[in-house]
């Protein structure tokens, strides 16, 4: 039988869980994830052949996809608080194992575990968020925009911290995993101390095939799912191959790579919260989503022709590309969560499925593309793949 709302730590009134806690755990989660995200490929090269790294991303992502399809059943049995704690603790241990790894087996297992659990934790945060927002959908865009904006501030600091911890000596890369594990410990403590009174929504138990059919039949949700998938595909491609390109082809040191990434991510800090407010009050999401894809297509393809650019030039291009990404991310998040509530764990799981699914396909596509094209030209392919997003936005009905 479902046990949501019944574990022995339930003492405080659920109303005492302020939405500000969502901002806090979202920032912590983002910071811990991005401390290692941009150096994973380089770090794993000491344990496996570079050609295998894409396969490891694919395996972890495939396991995450499989887990997403059945997450509602687990939520009904244990509740979101317990599930979040289990996932967070296991992920924390995987980070420590990665930092301590001296042999390929330990590194591979720990890396795949991390890739599998990280997207599931994102879904857990979504459930907390939607349950606390409740029925007040007029504030969805601004609240999720502010959440994304604060997460983006953490995202800016994370690569700078990574660059500081590593410097110009790649032997310092394990330090990023220990730091990430320490940050995740804070996440666990907050969940234990502050979310004990969280009352789970009534998670809808739906057969997987029926849920997929229902999800796909909703034209608007399907459209925003595809748009969000393309965005996550862009993120996957950039996280795996962009820093590797700068490090191995352009030969930049890690402190400069960290600074380039940080400047690009600062665009999220400036734009995502205002975009959420604009989507709520004036224009809706459709137009801004389409403009975002135009920017992503042009900026991605431009990477291929930036080989002789200065660090400032790389920073500028990264910043522009993230303006496009912030437009797409804030609008797809706002649009989707205006169409679901906290009980729609199945639908939310499909939405968050875009991340591991994009990692799975992106890693494979990048590996295959590298077999036939020089490294710099794979970003032209990425730009071309962003163009369908412009037309996908035309299929959805705007919220304004």
Angle (nearest 5°) at CA 225 between 222 and 229? 140
Give, in order, the Cα–Cα distances in Å from 383 to each of 143, 231, 359: 30, 11, 17
| Cα dihedral sign, 67-72-75-77 | negative
Region label for 204, one of left (φ > 0), alpha (ψ between -120 and 50) or beta (otherwise): beta
What is the C-alpha to C-alpha distance for residues 258 and 264, in angstroms, rounded to an integer? 10
Residue 79 pLDDT: 92
For residue 301, count other CB atoms closer than 10 A to its CB. 18
Compute the distance between CA of residue 65 and CA of residue 68 in angstroms, rounded to an integer: 5
Burial readout 163-184 (b: 16 or more C-beta within 10 A, e: otherwise): bebbeeeeeebebbbbbbbebb
Note whether 385 and 233 are within 8 A (CB). Answer: yes
Neighbours of 206 (CB within 10 A): 17
pLDDT at 244 (0 to 100): 83
- Burial level of 330, CB count in 10 A (0-12/13-18/19+)? buried
List per-residue pLDDT tens for the chain, 400 residues long. Answer: 333 333 333 333 344 677 788 889 999 999 999 999 988 988 998 898 776 788 888 899 889 888 877 788 898 899 999 999 999 999 999 999 999 999 999 999 999 999 999 989 988 988 888 777 665 555 555 676 677 778 888 888 998 999 889 877 778 899 999 999 999 999 999 999 988 888 888 776 656 676 677 667 778 778 888 898 999 999 988 988 898 888 888 888 888 988 999 899 888 888 877 887 776 676 667 888 999 999 999 999 999 998 878 899 999 999 999 999 989 988 888 788 777 665 566 676 677 677 788 888 888 888 888 888 898 899 999 999 999 999 988 888 766 5
Measured distance between the N- and C-terminal CA atoms of the chain, rounded to whole angstroms: 41
Structural tokens at position 210: 């029926």
Dihedral sign for Cα atoms in the order 288, 148, 29, 129? negative
Distance CA 271, CA 148 (A): 10
Rounded CA-CA distance 47/58 in Å is 17
Q: Is-above-0.85 flag for pTM?
A: no
Q: How far apart are the C-alpha atoms of 344 and 266, rounded to whole Å?
A: 32
Per the document, the length of the chain is 400
């Amino acid at each position: 039988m479902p046990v949501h709302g019944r574990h022995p730590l339930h003492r405080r009134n659920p109303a005492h869980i302020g939405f500000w806690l969502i901002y806090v755990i979202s920032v912590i989660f983002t910071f811990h994830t991005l401390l290692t995200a941009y150096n994973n490929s380089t770090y794993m090269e000491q344990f496996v052949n570079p050609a295998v790294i894409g396969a490891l991303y694919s395996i972890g992502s495939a396991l995450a996809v499989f887990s997403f399809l059945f997450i509602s059943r687990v939520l009904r049995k244990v509740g979101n608080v317990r599930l979040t704690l289990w996932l967070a603790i296991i992920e924390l241990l995987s980070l420590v194992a990665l930092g301590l790894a001296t042999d390929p087996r330990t590194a591979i297992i720990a890396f795949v575990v991390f890739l599998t659990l990280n997207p599931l934790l994102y879904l857990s945060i979504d459930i907390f968020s939607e349950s606390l927002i409740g029925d007040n959908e007029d504030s969805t865009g601004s609240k999720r925009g502010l959440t994304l904006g604060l997460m983006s501030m953490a995202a800016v600091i994370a690569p700078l911290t990574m660059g500081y911890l590593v410097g110009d000596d790649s032997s310092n890369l394990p330090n990023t995993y220990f730091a990430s594990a320490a940050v995740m410990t804070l996440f666990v403590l907050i969940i234990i101390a502050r979310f004990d009174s969280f009352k789970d929504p009534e998670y809808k138990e739906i057969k997987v095939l029926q849920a997929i059919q229902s999800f796909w039949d909703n034209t608007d949700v399907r459209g925003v799912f595809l748009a969000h998938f393309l965005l996550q595909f862009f993120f996957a491609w950039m996280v795996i191959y962009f820093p590797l390109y700068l490090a191995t082809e352009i030969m930049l040191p890690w402190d400069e790579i960290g600074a380039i990434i940080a400047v690009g991510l600062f665009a999220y800090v400036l734009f995502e919260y205002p975009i959420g407010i604009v989507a709520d009050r004036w224009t809706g999401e459709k137009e801004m989503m389409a403009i975002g894809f135009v920017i992503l297509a042009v900026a991605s393809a431009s990477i291929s022709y930036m080989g002789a650019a200065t660090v400032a030039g790389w920073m500028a291009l990264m910043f522009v590309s993230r303006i496009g990404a912030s437009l797409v991310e804030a609008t797809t998040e706002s649009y989707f969560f205006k169409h679901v509530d906290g009980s729609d764990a199945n639908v939310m799981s499909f939405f968050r499925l875009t991340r591991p699914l994009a990692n799975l396909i992106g890693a494979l596509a990048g590996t295959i593309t590298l077999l036939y094209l020089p490294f710099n030209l794979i970003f032209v392919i990425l730009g071309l793949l962003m163009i369908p997003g412009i037309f996908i936005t035309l299929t959805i009905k705007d919220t304004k």
